Chains A and B, each alone.
Chain A
Amino acid sequence: GAVVSQHPSWVICKSGTSVKIECRSLDFQATTMFWYRQFPKQSLMLMATSNEGSKATYEQGVEKDKFLINHASLTLSTLTVTSAHPEDSSFYICSASGLAGGTYEQYFGPGTRLTVT
């Protein structure tokens, strides 16, 4: 299957600073990328959907000004957590989807663990 990478795999930042997380589809042109967050011992919650070259669509309750998503190319999407606070500490996972071999495929990145101190 295709490979989706995330960078960094973990990051610690101070409260009030901004953090950018990259999601790359290494061998797959992702028409759509998704961002999820996962709190400890909980399921993945979809934050937003981004299509290449257009604005992201945010799920209800997700602050678009706090979680800035850019999907500039078919292989790269970024999530920027602005003015991070300790409650933003979480595991952030991206996924890339599109048609491959005539079927729908979605591939997940390994996740980025964010700790805000």
Chain B
Amino acid sequence: AQSVTQPDIHITVSEGASLELRCNYSYGATPYLFWYVQSPGQGLQLLLKYFSGDTLVQGIKGFEAEFKRSQSSFNLRKPSVHWSDAAEYFCAVVFYSSASKIIFGSGTRLSIRP
């Protein structure tokens, strides 16, 4: 079955520390992969996306993500977080066979410790 999983519901990191948010998918091929961020009461902002090519993708706000086919993963990273990064992060995928529907993971809430 096609699915996307974010195993971490809530993560707290110290300001200035590095961050990695996990995302795994289940699919027989490589889907389109996205990371979005949502601040409370706000809409979604696209951080980065992967369709093909270089498996290390650079995004906005200093974020990057690496696609690993062998692990069916697309983890989001940032070397040094800022207090303004506190938000909800969603991994999302488009499975080719699903009429281009974006399916969202359950989300990871990021808190920043001063």
Contacts and interface: CB of A to CB of B under 8 A. Distances in A.
Interface stretch (A63-71, A74-82, A103-111): A103-111
Interface centre among A1, A43, A97, by most B CB within 10 Å? A43
Contacts of B107: 42-43
Contacts of A45: 104
Nearest to B91: A43
A62 interface: no
Nearest to B36: A108
Interface residues of A, number: 23
Contacts of A97: 100, 102
B102 A34 contact: yes
Given A104-B32, A104-B94, A32 B100 contact: yes
A43 B104 contact: yes
Contacts of B109: 41
A65 B32 CA distance: 32
A57 B99 CA distance: 10
A95 interface: yes
Given A93-B44, A104-B94, A110-B43, A46 B103 contact: yes
Nearest to B103: A46
B106 interface: yes
Contacts of B104: 36, 43-46
A44 to B, nearest CB: 5
Interface of B: 32, 36, 41-44, 46, 51, 90, 94, 99-107, 109
